[in-house]
């Protein structure tokens, strides 16, 4: 059995086996650069730019990335990023990372995450990291919508892998989520679209695919790798009126992809 396990491990590429510790170490190394001042502590500018409501940019036309499930993980992983703030904890001089999720939507460095992920005045800087541990500073917030919980930012990158944005998915459609729940990086889950709902005059996409803390900003995509939504929040349903009663289900509430398209000036 040991020989078989060793052979399996050798056969797997580095892209398949996720080393969570190595990814966290790379984020911590970037945090050291923030502390040293070799990386700009530009979060004050980013917070001011959250008031921008639209951007003059062009997204690539939707097209399939993967032909089957075997291709899907590798195709979507390349463009899914760890979206992290860096800031002081108050107990030491280190600039600690606080990882969430996001994804690239254009080869020239356009990245999507949640508004609530980047709305953090106490942070000093934000950056995104790709699966190969390359880290890119977030240089600008191009457009954002607090109510819809979506933000479009820029990083300084060229010829980057990206996820195409599709307009809509229908209830019952199969969807996947790729995100970083509690620093378990590049975790894929599968489910379906359960419904669209309205809250605060805002449409939301509800799905059954699993996610958790740290997944915010992660892509929700169809079986071809085209984005149909963004992970946003959860809502727990209890048998009674309080959290002391039995937990019956957890609603997974996401931003529909139309909210991304609404940030683009027509």
* pLDDT for 94: 86
Span 30-79, pLDDT tens digits: 999 999 999 999 999 999 999 999 999 999 999 999 998 889 999 999 99
pLDDT band at 90, cuts 50/70/90?
Answer: confident
Q: Which of 121, 155, 189 is the last residue of a domain?
A: 155
Q: Strands 227-238 and 219-221: what pairing?
A: antiparallel
**In this structure, what token pair is assigned to residue 236?**
């727990």
Span 204-250, pLDDT tens digits: 999 999 999 999 999 999 999 999 999 999 999 999 877 788 999 99
CA separation for the pair 149, 128 (Å, rounded): 18
Q: Which of 122, 155, 188 is the last residue of a domain?
A: 155
Query: How many domains are contained in the chain?
Result: 2
Do residue 215 and residue 113 come from a single domain?
Answer: no
Collapsed DSSP state (helix, strand, coil) of residue 196: strand
* pLDDT for 240: 83
Do residue 254 and residue 186 come from a single domain?
Answer: yes
* Residue 129 pLDDT exceeds 90: yes
Do residue 69 and residue 182 come from a single domain?
Answer: no
32 is a domain residue: yes
Checking phi first, is residue 37 left (phi over 0); if not, alpha (psi -120 to 50) or beta? left
Q: In b/e form, how buried is each residue of 125-159, taking b as 16+ CB within 10 angstroms?
A: bbbbbbbeeebbbbbbbbbbbeebbbbbbbbebee
CA separation for the pair 107, 223 (Å, rounded): 21
| Residues spanned by the domain of 137 | 17-155
* Residue 3 pLDDT exceeds 90: no
CATH of the domain at 123: 2.40.10.10
* pLDDT for 91: 82
240 is a domain residue: yes
pTM: 0.92
Q: Which of 104, 128, 155 is the last residue of a domain?
A: 155
- When the pLDDT of each residue in the chain is averaged and rounded to a whole number, the result is 93
* pLDDT for 69: 84
């Amino acid at each position: 059995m040991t020989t078989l396990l060793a052979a399996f491990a050798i056969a797997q590429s580095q892209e398949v086996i996720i080393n969570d510790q190595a990814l966290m170490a790379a984020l911590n190394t970037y945090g050291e650069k923030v502390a040293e001042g070799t990386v700009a502590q530009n979060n004050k500018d980013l917070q001011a730019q959250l008031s921008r409501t639209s951007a003059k940019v062009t997204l690539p036309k939707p097209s399939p990335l993967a032909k089957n499930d075997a291709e899907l993980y590798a195709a979507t992983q390349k463009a899914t990023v760890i979206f992290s703030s860096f800031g002081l904890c108050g107990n030491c001089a280190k600039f600690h990372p606080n990882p969430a999720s996001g994804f690239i939507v254009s080869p020239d460095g356009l990245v999507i995450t949640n508004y609530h992920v980047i709305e953090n005045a106490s942070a000093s800087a934000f950056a995104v990291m790709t699966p190969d541990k390359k880290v890119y500073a977030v240089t600008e917030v191009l457009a954002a919508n607090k109510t819809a919980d979506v933000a479009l930012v820029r990083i300084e990158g060229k010829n980057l892998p990206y996820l195409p944005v599709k307009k809509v998915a229908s209830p019952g459609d199969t969807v996947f989520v790729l995100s970083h729940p509690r620093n378990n990086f590049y975790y894929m889950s599968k489910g379906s679209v359960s419904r669209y709902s309205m809250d605060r005059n805002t449409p939301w996409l509800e799905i059954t695919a699993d996610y958790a803390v740290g997944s915010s900003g992660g892509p929700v995509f169809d079986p071809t790798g085209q984005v149909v939504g963004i992970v946003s929040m959860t809502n727990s349903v209890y048998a009674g009126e309080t959290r002391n009663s039995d937990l019956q289900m957890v609603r997974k509430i996401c931003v529909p992809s139309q909210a991304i398209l609404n940030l683009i000036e027509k």
